Every structure is written in C-alpha cells, then in structure tokens.
A and B are shown apart, each in its own frame.
Chain A
Amino acid sequence: MTTASIEHGFRMDRRIDFVISLVLAILALAIGAWGVFQVLIMGDHGAVTSYVPWGLWVGVYVYLVWLEVGTMLAYTALRYGLRVEGLEKLGPAVALAALAALIGALFIIGMDLGHPFRFWKAYLQPNFGSLMTWMIWLHTIYLLLLVGELYAYRRGKDALAKRLTLIGAPIGIALIGVIGGLFGVIAARPYWNASVLPLMFFVSSLVAGIGLLILLHLLFSPTAVAPQYAATARELARIFMVGIIIGLFAAGANALVIAYPGVPAYSEGLRLVLFGPYWWTIWIVHLLFGVLVPLGLLLWNRRNLLVIGVAAALMVWTFVMVPLNIVIPGLAYPTPELEGLKRAAVHHRLSFDYFPSLIEWLVVIFAVGIALAIFTVGYKIVLEPYQRRVLGLSGEQLSGGDV
C-alpha cells in the first residue's frame, strides 16, 4: 500500500496497491505455510530449548503488541488529549492497522504453544493469578473493541467508534503493563526482574506507535489534499523525535543501573545484548538504523515528508530488535550457581544457545502475511467506504484518480 503522491494529495485509486498488497500477502502466506504445517501437524517447536524456552515468536509477539497498542494509544492521546489537528479522519486506518498487528500477534503466540489446540483452556479454565491469563483476556477484549470500532466506522457510527477508542485506551495501557509485568515479575530471571520493565514497555510501545502513526498518516490520511496534512506530519515528527529521545534516555538509564554494580547474575543479560554473539542486532540494526539515523534525518530536514516517512519506517521496522533483545538474553544464561548445567547434559534442547530456526522464520512470515491480508481486505471493507463517506465522493470518483 504505497503511494507516490505524498506531497501532492491523496491518491484515491488504490487498485494497483490493493493487488500488489494482496499478492504480497498471499506470497507470504504461501511461503510461511510450510512452517505452519510443520508446527501444527508435525509438532515442530522451532529452535527453542528447555533453558531458552522463548525465542523469536515471543519476541515478535511483543513487537506486534507494542505496535498494535502503541499506535492506538498514540492516536488517542494525540487526537483526544493533545488535540493535534489533522488526525480526525485517521481513526479507521489506525484501528485497522492495530487489528492486523493484533491478529498476527495472537497467531504467532498461539503457534508458540506446545499444544496450540488447547488454547481454549485459557478462556474456559483460566487462572487469574497468572499475568499470562490477564494478557490473553485483555488481548481478546482489545480484539473485540477493535472489531467493534471498525464495524462502527463502516456503519457510519463515528460517535460509537470514538467511545470504543476511548474505552480501549485504559485497556491498551493495562495490556502493555501486563505484558511488561509478565516478564518483570519473573524473579528467576534477573535481567527481566525489574519494576521499571512495564514502564519501559509502555514507553517503547508509545514511541513505536507514534512511528507507525506517522506512516499511516502519510499513506492513508484522507486529508492529504489539505494544507493541514503536511503540518500534521511535521507535528507528529516533532513529537516522534521527543519520544525517541525519551526512549533512548530511559533505555540508557536502565542499562546503566543494571551494568554499574557489575554483578554477573544481574548484568550478564545486558552483557549478552551489548557484547554477545548477536551484538549487531542492538548496535547496528536498532541503535544505528533505528535510532541514530532516524534522529539524524529528522534533525536534518523535518519539513520534508519523505524524510519523515523514511525516518519513521526505519524506526518502526528495526524496533523488532528491542523485544528480541529483552526476551532472549534474559533466558540465555544460567545464574552462576548453576553454571554447570551447560555441561550437565548433552542435547541441543538442553542448551543456553539459541538462534531461530527456518521454521520459526517461516511462521513469522506467515503471521506477517496474515496481518497484511487483514489490512488489505480491511482497506476495501472499511477504509475505502469510510474515505468515500468523509470526502463526500461517489464510488466512481473514488476509483477515478487523484483528488
């Protein structure tokens, strides 16, 4: 769903985009299907081990939740809280993107289960003492809210959609807090076990969400013809910069607190992140291409919408490395007292080394395919009719070219 006319107005004819997007989604689903087959039918569990029981799937799940909730929260806060102008008609695009990410996330975490077809037990036989139960329930409530919201937009019930958006805000905050807490409460993993973790998840989610919001505004805002369009994008870029800097400061402060005492049981996870075998994921992919380059671009020319778009895309895309560098290193080492476990049994599933398998990547591609397919189909079902309505256009005008 790309548009070449960001500076010149809203391109209403998205037929080619629709076809390209659908083809990409089908391609992703076709490629990933092999991985899904291996997991659901053959019982493949990827490359996770008994000592690193969570890997790529859980990391990507957290990433997608950050995007899904972060975008909705950013939109709600900026539109209804700070009253940033120009976001009025972006609601359906944001809700649709959130729904696509949410379903991709739920699919991927479902695939991570040892018994995926027992997922219903979390609904019918839940243990509400577990944060994972809260995560599943809040996520489901969020799913229903988003579906309701999109239904309201499609039916022209914008007031109901607004109400659902506002109801969704505290639920989204709770969801992010619960997922941060899900890791934070695990006292057995010192790298995770910090009261600040839910807050870090919230900041990360919000910053990534603002990035995605910018992209959605640039690509799908029906106000693209109005002068306000560029002003809104620049305003969002300014807020985005502040968000990145706050996030950078928070992450840096947290890292320093972990590193300063130099107690291996607590700092080993951070050492793995910064200097372990996959150091480049945080230094090169995230910090360089996801933080410094976008910041540099925005400082260099924040007026150019293409620059803003590239900066946001870089940041959002590379942000996946953050949850991966939280989830995996937190598990990838034993506490010094049990160091000998590394050698106590010889089996690749009894190892502290982990790198995602091909099957895991294929499942992620499949999940991306699901998200893309939902967004593409949702565009036809919800976004296009909505845009037609708010712009007062007929169906012919909508498919007839630039406005």
Chain B
Amino acid sequence: MKSDRSDLASTKTAEVEEMSALPADEASRRSFLRKFASSVFAGLVAPAVLASSATLQAASLEEQTNEPPSQAKGGDTIFKRMMAELHRAMQKPVEQRRWVMVIDLRKCTGCQACNVACIAENQLPPGVVYRPVIDEELGTYPNVSIRSMPRPCMQCENPPCVPVCPVTATWQRPDGIVDIDYEQCIGCRYCMTACPYHARTFDFGYKYTEDTPAIQPYEQQANFEYGRRWVREGRNSPIGNVRKCHFCRHKLEAGMLPSCVTTCIGHATYFGDANDPESLVSELISRPNVMRLKEEAGTKPRVYYLL
C-alpha cells in the first residue's frame, strides 16, 4: 500500500509540472479531454474494478479475520477439494497420513444432522453416541446466544485411553485414528474412565424397537466399523463393548468422507490430511482462531475447533 501511494504521489507531481509548462488554453483543453476520457473509462470499467476490488477485499478480510471458507466460494468446491485431498492422501502409505477434523463453531447450527448421520452410518443403538452436539446458552437476556459444539472422539495424538486397556483391544493407528477391536475388548470400561472427553460409550445391548411386536429390519442390519461386518444380535460384539467415533475409517478406506462431514448442512465440519500442506485442514488449523479441547492436558486432539 505504501509503494502504491508513493507512485500515485509522484505521478501527480509530474502531471502538475507538465501542465504548468503548457500555455493556459492548451492546458485547459488537455485537462478537459483527460477528465472526459477518464470519466468515460471510469464509467465503463468501474463495475468490474469495484467488483474485483470487493472480492479481493473480501478474500483479504477472510484471511485476515479468519473467516470460515465461505459458501460464496462454493460449498461443492469445498467438498470436491476435500474429496480430492482424501484420494490424494489414500495414495500415500498409512503412516504418512494424519487425519484431522476441523469444526467451525461459527457455522454449526446445532441441527444434529451430523449426529443423526453418524447413528445411521454406524447403526448406533439407543444409549450409544459418537458425536453428541453440546448446546450451550451463553450470556444473559437480552445479550444471549447459543453455541453448539459437536464432540466426536478427539483421536488424540497422546490418547490416555490406549495404555490403560488390559488386553490391548484399543490402539492408535499410524494415521492417528484410535481403533477398537470389538472381539478383543472384554468390556472392563477402564478406557472410558481414562478419556478426558467422555468420548467412549458402552453398548448395553438396547434396540429402538425392543419393546414392540417385532425388532425392525433396520436394527438387524450390519455396520461396517473398522472394515468388518458387525451385526448386533444376542450378546455378540459390539454389544458389551466400548464404542466410539473412528472418523468413519471404513468410509475413508472406500474413498469417502466421514458421514458427519458430508451431512453438515452448514458446511461446518472439514476433514483431511494434515500432513498434506496443500490440504484445506492444513490451512485451517494454522489460523490463530483455532483451538482444541483441554489443550492443557497435552493429549493433542486431532479435532480442532474454529472460533
């Protein structure tokens, strides 16, 4: 900006000097023509220039104030970009990926679409929740607002739930996702006590239609968590097991984004490989308005929130 202003000042000075060197009538005619031409030109190009300037200003503002990636740029574009990044990441060896989820709290409407999608995708029974949306009322009337905060498993870099398992039924994959082996889990629930985010829930074996004349078919369908087929029947796993969000690992491996990401009506949830410097999540988590839950604990969650 400073150089632009100095250029403008020097142009003006040269113009003044040029004008003063000409006869008065010549100078007046030139001045008139220049002003006229400028006006016509300005009238022709102004809309385009202004629009371009406004876009630049908006983009600049977005970056400077950490505005969320806006719908004006195209929500579909964001999805396409995340899908392309996902495919790019899946070409790499698993240990070179670092999955990260970013949730923009300014855009979350608390609609629970992500939660519902998660329940549908993973066939979650009553009492099991991977992605509760915590609504908080802030302020006092008349200055009130609601903040909605989805809380999936944080897939911590230092997961306190992993070392406490007595039978190594839960572990951290090289890409950062914390897995559970339902067949190995003995259901002691020690990991649940160790999670600072209450992100693990226990499958008590409930069904939505258990007190009705018939268990409905949708409750007998398999889910495909951790890339395996799980049918909840009798006392088979995952009944009697600890369960949690796994970033829809089975979908990632099929080249799809997690269900909570694709169903978010406000495009408030982003997902990608933080090891990819070109990825959207890499951009987002480098902003100063990013935070993680209980950062002081040093668990280093891989779920980030934008404020």
Contact = CB atoms under 8 A, between A and B. Distances in A.
B196 A54 contact: no
B274 interface: no
Interface SS, B side: loop
Contacts of B151: 338, 341, 344
B79 to A, nearest CB: 27
Nearest to B187: A114
Interface stretch (B9-17, B45-53, B70-78, B164-172): B164-172
A43 B235 CA distance: 7
Interface in A320-341: 331, 334-335, 337-341
Contact of A349 (B168, B202, B241): B202
A43 B232 CA distance: 13
A24 interface: no
B202 A340 contact: no
Contacts of B196: 187-188, 335
Given A113-B187, A121-B184, A127-B165, A43 B240 contact: yes
Contacts of A45: 202, 204-205, 240
B194 A114 contact: no
A331 B235 contact: no
A128 B232 CA distance: 31
A347 B185 contact: no
Interface stretch (A131-139, A229-237, A239-247, A292-300): A131-139
A182 B168 CA distance: 16
A53 B185 contact: no
Contact of A113 (B149, B184, B186): B186
B129 A350 contact: yes
Contacts of A126: 166-167
Interface string B53-91: 000000000000000000000000000000000000000
A163 interface: no
Contacts of B237: 115
A114 B189 contact: yes
Interface stretch (B99-107, B131-139, B221-229): B131-139
Most B-side CB within 10 Å, residue of A126, A127, A344: A344
Contacts of B206: 349
Contacts of A345: 129, 132
B288 interface: no
Nearest to B136: A340
B158 to A, nearest CB: 11
A291 B133 CA distance: 46
A338 B205 contact: no
A119 B134 CA distance: 36
B160 A341 contact: no
A385 to B, nearest CB: 39
B144 interface: no
B29 to A, nearest CB: 74
A216 to B, nearest CB: 32
B96 interface: no
Contacts of A133: 166-167
A45 B240 CA distance: 9
Contacts, number: 142
A115 B166 contact: no
Contacts of B188: 112-114, 132
Interface in B158-199: 160, 163-168, 184-190, 192-198
B160 A114 contact: no
Interface string B285-307: 00000000110010000000000
B239 A127 contact: no
B201 interface: yes
B242 interface: yes
Nearest to B127: A349
A374 to B, nearest CB: 24
Contacts of A187: 160, 194, 196, 297
Interface in A209-253: none
Interface in B202-218: 202-206
A169 to B, nearest CB: 25
B198 A341 contact: yes
A125 B168 contact: yes
B149 A340 contact: yes
Contacts of B187: 113-115, 118
Contacts of A349: 126-127, 201-202, 204, 206
B202 A53 contact: yes
Given A187-B297, A188-B194, A337-B294, A43 B205 contact: yes
B200 interface: yes
Contacts of A131: 164
B193 A53 contact: yes
Nearest to A185: B164
Most B-side CB within 10 Å, residue of A45, A113, A125, A338: A338
A342 to B, nearest CB: 9
Nearest to B235: A43
Contacts of B186: 113-115, 118-119, 121-122
Given A43-B240, A54-B193, A132 B201 contact: no
B292 to A, nearest CB: 11
Most B-side CB within 10 Å, residue of A114, A127, A131: A114
22 contacts: A45-B240, A50-B127, A50-B192, A114-B185, A114-B202, A115-B187, A115-B235, A115-B241, A121-B184, A127-B165, A130-B164, A132-B164, A186-B194, A187-B160, A187-B194, A331-B193, A335-B294, A338-B134, A344-B129, A344-B132, A349-B127, A349-B201
Given A114-B202, A133-B166, A187-B196, 4 more contacts: A50-B198, A115-B240, A118-B187, A122-B186
**Closest CB pairs A-B (n = 8):** A114-B187, A114-B240, A349-B127, A340-B134, A344-B132, A53-B189, A50-B201, A188-B196
